[in-house]
């Protein structure tokens, strides 16, 4: 189970505890689910962005693949970092708040022969980012507004982005004419305005195909429901916690089947003179 995570109330800045932040990033609402996440997701490796799409985007836009440095924030079990290192022989540094995920990522990197290219660390990315240097690519793989909205997120990451670098985000947005609403899903116009306000632009947008979303959703849902059912038997006193998590996952999945556009966005600074 998760070690060294201290549950605390929001501090003076309004920042929630690490457990609460992780729960929200994993589409939950209760930080008490966090110690059980390694068990729940033991059958799933790809927890965030689709690695193949990220690799293709980086290939198309990175300036020097031989010297590429990638920061994978909320890296989960390391699928993106390991696959990037395998394909491009680049150096990847992954951060996540769950110790078991980080150990799994390190083991995967070693097994894939890229242990010398990948390093992983257990950390709260909201504070750890402050001490980091610059990277050519910063990946945010479907972790939601951990830093805040797009404007705050990009302003936070910009000091750590090398010249000509990219922020690669796996996220969803609603068309401007959509009648639907979600507290964590922006309309496209609002998304573009926040990116522009941060002095950046979308360099490339790759929409995730419906078939791929369905495949990933089915695999995730089956694994999650089975493992949560097991936990209800193992820990009957926590049954309501697991039932609530399954319900929230199902609601999130159902919402994404509407007119939400799921995409991987490559965001960078405008070229000189533009």
The DSSP output letter for 64 is: -
Q: Of the candidates 72, 49, 55, 46, which has an alpha carbon nearest to the alpha carbon of residue 138?
A: 72
* pLDDT tens, residue order, the chain (274 aa): 333 333 333 343 456 888 888 888 888 889 999 999 999 999 989 887 789 999 999 999 987 887 999 999 999 999 999 999 999 999 999 999 999 999 999 999 999 999 999 999 999 999 999 999 999 999 998 787 888 899 999 999 999 999 999 999 998 899 999 888 887 889 999 999 999 999 999 999 998 877 777 777 777 888 899 999 999 999 999 999 999 999 998 888 877 777 889 899 999 987 654 4
Q: What pTM was estimated for this model as a whole? A: 0.90
Alpha carbons 185 and 144: distance in angstroms, whole number: 9
pLDDT for the residue 131:
95
DSSP codes joined into one string, 159-204: GGEEEEEEEEEEEEEE-TT----BTTBEEHHHHHHHHHHTT-EEEE
pLDDT for the residue 102:
97
N-terminal to C-terminal alpha carbon distance within the chain: 50
**How far, in Å, are 55, 138, 148 from residue 181 at the CA level?**
31, 28, 18
Overall residue count recorded for the chain in this entry: 274
pLDDT per residue over 155-198, tens digit each? 999 999 999 999 999 988 999 998 888 878 899 999 999 999 99
pLDDT per residue over 128-149, tens digit each? 999 999 999 999 987 878 888 9
- Would you list the domain boundaries of the chain? 15-267
pLDDT for the residue 255:
77
| CATH code, residues 15-267 | 3.40.50.150
């Amino acid at each position: 189970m998760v070690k060294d995570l201290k549950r605390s109330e929001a501090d003076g800045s309004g920042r929630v505890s690490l457990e609460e932040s992780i729960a929200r990033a994993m589409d939950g609402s209760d930080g008490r689910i966090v110690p059980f996440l390694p068990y729940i997701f033991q059958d799933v490796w790809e927890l965030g962005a689709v690695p193949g799409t990220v690799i293709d985007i980086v290939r198309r836009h990175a300036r020097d693949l031989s010297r590429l440095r990638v920061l994978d924030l909320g890296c989960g079990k390391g699928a993106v970092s390991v696959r990037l290192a395998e394909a491009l022989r680049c150096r990847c540094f992954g951060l996540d708040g769950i110790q078991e995920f980080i150990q799994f990522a390190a083991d995967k990197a070693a097994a894939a022969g890229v242990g010398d290219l990948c390093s992983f660390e257990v950390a709260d990315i909201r504070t750890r980012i402050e001490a980091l240097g610059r990277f050519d690519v910063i990946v945010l793989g479907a972790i939601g507004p951990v830093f805040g909205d797009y404007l705050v997120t990009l302003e936070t990451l910009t000091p750590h982005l090398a010249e000509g670098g990219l922020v690669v985000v796996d996220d969803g947005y609603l068309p401007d004419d959509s009648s639907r609403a979600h507290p964590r899903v922006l309309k496209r116009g609002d998304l573009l305005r926040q990116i522009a306000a941060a002095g950046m632009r979308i360099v490339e947008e790759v929409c995730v195909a419906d078939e791929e979303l369905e495949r990933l959703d089915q695999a995730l849902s089956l694994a999650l429901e089975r493992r949560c059912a097991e936990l209800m038997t193992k820990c009957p006193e926590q049954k309501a916690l697991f039932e609530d998590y399954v319900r929230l996952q199902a609601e999130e999945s159902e919402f994404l089947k509407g007119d939400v556009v799921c995409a991987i966005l490559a965001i960078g600074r405008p070229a000189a003179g533009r």
